[in-house]
Amino acid sequence: MPAQLESGVNANDELFRTEVQQFLAANFPEDLKGKGNPLAGLEGPTNETDQQRKWREAVGQRGWGTPTWPKEYGGGGLSKAQAKILDHEMTKVGAFNPIGGMGVMMFGPTLLEYGDEKQKREHIPPICRGEIRWCQGYSEPNAGSDLANLQTFAADKGDHYLVNGQKTWTSGGQWADKCFAIVRTDRSDKHNGISFMLIDMDSPGVEVRPITMISGTSPFCETFFTDVKVPKKNLVGEEGQGWTIGKRLLQHERTNISGGGSLAGMMGQSLGVIAKTYCEADGDGELADKVLRDKIADLEIRWNSFLHTVRRALQESKAQGGVSEISSVLKKLGTKLSQERSELLIEIRGLQGLGWEGEQFTDGELEDVRGWLFGKAATIYGGSTEIQNNIIAKRVLGMLDHQ
């Protein structure tokens, strides 16, 4: 990182940098260098190795997986400048943040904003330590884009609610310990009849069935609630405040889906360079198929300007403070470009780029095929592109409600 980007760093921060370097030297196992983070992914069970567990515990104990969250709830309590130093130093030695998942990306920030003191003390520390997996109970069979149409009902039974209904597209539901859900507590008011509550996935009456997707994987589940008891202490905010809280959480989700979090990971390998291993080049080392070459350049130019847009959104929201409205634009642009990239990759590889299984295909080829299929979901979940367009038109452009 160029020195001028860190011009705000003061002497205390330099002490902190030394502390981080010492911590990494003492705790980060060389073997994990450059390896992914098992818990940060939304999908897949955790088969933690001892080494991974030790690394997670070391980071979690300091709260450095959630560096800017308050220390009193198990966060790192670091300033933004310090968090940047931490990130920088970890990248430098090939370390990764072992704390992740929906608890960190979506639920945690929302609970810190809306939860009461007891709830924060109960739920935030295990998230900071990476001990608990959260899943999201939002969509229902008849409440997808029209999310507020949800029907899962929580009946008031004095000291607890009795929840009945069905959620769907529950990401990682089969592996989750807990679920943050929006449920109906009042049938007479569409938006104000919704409440936000926390449900233990091992409660009697919770049943999870994984859904097989066109990509052949099952990262999503149907989740059935039959007379599930939820203690009242698990209500976040007031009854009827669920829509407001739930929407706030979606802002965090959208920023993450668009890739606002990890810019470096989005660069990918140049399609043109990949194409040279599958297609012929002419004497000058250019792709001989000029039509394909033009398509690739067109996409990569737009991809680059999207990355510039992500960067700009980050800088703007930092300068203004808070999630910028541009997050809706990022989701729409980023998901579409990713899909276009996957399609173009198939065109580059021909039928070799459509392999389902078998040793004749490389792991990379097979992964890209599944990614292409699974990627079709990206313009649907987290608020479909059409919903994003409604939001941009109405909230940002001030175009009026249609009837």
Partner 1 sequence: MAVLNEEQEMLRSMARDWATNESPISEFRKVRAAGEPKAYNADSYAMMAKMGWAGIIIPEAHGGSNFGFLSAGLVVEELGKTLTASPLVVSTIVASAIVLGGSDQQKDKWLPKLASGETVATLAVDEGPHYDPSAIETNVSDGKLTGKKAFVHEAHGADLFLVAAKDGLYLVARDDSVSLVTRKLTDQRSHADVSFNGAAAEKLEGGGVSLLDDVLDRARVLSAAEMLGMAQAVFDTTLDYLTQRVQFNQVLATFQALQHRMADLFADLAQMRSAVEAGLQAVDGGFGVARAATIAKAEANRVLNVISNQGIQLHGGIGMTDEYDVGFYLKRARVLEASWGSTSYLRNRFALLSGY
Provide the annotated active-site residues: 253
Site residues, partner 1 (CB under 8 A): 270, 272-273, 275-276, 281, 285-287, 293-294, 296-298, 300-302, 304-306, 308-309, 311-312, 315-316, 319, 326, 329, 332-333, 386, 388-390, 392-394, 396-403
Amino acid in position 39: L
Instruction: Write out the H or E segment, with its range, that includes residue 295.
Output: helix 290-320
CA separation for the pair 171, 331 (Å, rounded) = 18
Half-sphere exposure in the Cβ direction for 84 (13 Å, CA): 14
In the bound state with partner 1, the residue whose beta carbon lies nearer, of 15 and 396, is 396
The answer to whether the CB of 175 falls within 8 A of the CB of 133 is: yes
Annotate 355-370 with DSSP letters as a single string: --SSTTS-HHHHHHHH
In the bound state with partner 1, the residue whose beta carbon lies nearer, of 213 and 393, is 393
- Non-local CB neighbours of 110 within 8 Å, separated by 6+ positions: 180, 245, 248, 249, 252
- Give 154's strand partners: 163
CB of 375 to partner 1, least distance (A): 19
- 274 C-beta neighbours (distance < 10 Å), count: 18
CA separation for the pair 177, 216 (Å, rounded) = 24
Amino acid in position 12: N
The answer to whether the CB of 182 falls within 8 A of the CB of 191 is: no
The answer to whether the CB of 224 falls within 8 A of the CB of 166 is: yes
Half-sphere exposure in the Cβ direction for 35 (13 Å, CA): 15
In the bound state with partner 1, the residue whose beta carbon lies nearer, of 132 and 380, is 380
Amino acid in position 152: T
Angle between helices 327-349 and 363-374 (to 10 degrees): 130
In the bound state with partner 1, the residue whose beta carbon lies nearer, of 67 and 334, is 334
In the bound state with partner 1, the residue whose beta carbon lies nearer, of 199 and 337, is 337
Sign of the C-alpha dihedral computed for residues 383, 208, 181 and 322 taken in this order: negative
In the bound state with partner 1, the residue whose beta carbon lies nearer, of 60 and 353, is 353
CB of 271 to partner 1, least distance (A): 8
In the bound state with partner 1, the residue whose beta carbon lies nearer, of 270 and 352, is 270
Structure tokens given for 90: 């970890």
CA separation for the pair 34, 42 (Å, rounded) = 19
